[in-house]
Amino acid sequence: MHDAGRLPVEFEGAPTGHEGSHQFLVDDFVTAVNKGSLPPVNAWVAARFTLPGVVAHESALRGGERLPIRDFGDAPEAL
């Protein structure tokens, strides 16, 4: 589990899902915006997590056809 002590007090008792990960994702995003950096789970990482499921669904709709999963590369070094 993550250290909940790093989260703002406003998150205490807030409903959550996925074992409490939502508050950490929000905190990572807001921290990154304030610092002018990318959060650990940025658009490129999220695409790597999401695209296989999207392509798998399309494959199932096509009777199990093998489909490529596009790689969008890595996040830029600087914003």
Q: Tokens for 76, please give them.
A: 């830029």
CA distances from 15 to 20, 21, 74 (A): 8, 11, 32
Spans of all domains in the chain = 40-79
What is the per-residue pLDDT across 41-63, written as a single tens digit (0 to 9) for each? 999 999 999 999 999 999 999 99
Mean pLDDT across 70-77: 92
**Rounded Cα–Cα distance for residues 35 and 42 (Å):** 14
| C-alpha Rg value of the chain to the nearest Å | 17
Mean pLDDT across 31-38: 95
Mean pLDDT across 59-69: 98
Backbone angles phi, psi at 8, to 5 degrees: -60, 150
